[in-house]
Amino acid sequence: MTTMEELRKHRFLNLTLIDLIPTLIVGLIIHSYLWLYPLELDIIEQSHRTFIQYVASLSIIIITSLGLGILSHRVAGIRSGLSAHLGLNGLPNKNNIVF
């Protein structure tokens, strides 16, 4: 087994951890930067933001980064579990979900 195959065998919800964890970390860093230094909000508007807005914006950024990950896997020709679930790489959909 090669090194990449060994790294890709660890999964969460049938997504490889070597792909999922860096994606989530980068998404969290981008979200934190944009939350702390917003582009077009004044001080008063910044102080009135709620937890729901925080979670909604974090969700949007995480979903966007997962989408960029799917596109980069598609361009590079890497067959991933999420791409298989979405039907993008010609692999049959796997019914088992491993935690």
pLDDT in tens, the chain (99 residues): 577 777 777 777 667 777 788 888 888 898 888 888 887 878 888 788 888 988 998 899 988 888 887 777 777 777 666 666 666 666 555 555 555
- In this structure, is residue 70 part of a structural domain? yes
In the chain, DSSP finds a helix count (H) and a strand count (E) of 5, 2
- In this structure, is residue 96 part of a structural domain? no
- In this structure, is residue 45 part of a structural domain? no
Domain count of the fold of the chain = 1
- In this structure, is residue 32 part of a structural domain? yes
- In this structure, is residue 16 part of a structural domain? yes
pTM recorded for the entire structure: 0.62
Q: Which domain, by its residues, includes 75?
A: 3-39+51-86
- Give the whole-angstrom CA distance, residue 81 versus residue 66: 12
- In this structure, is residue 74 part of a structural domain? yes
- In this structure, is residue 9 part of a structural domain? yes
Residues 6+ apart with CB under 8 A from 98: 11, 12, 13, 14
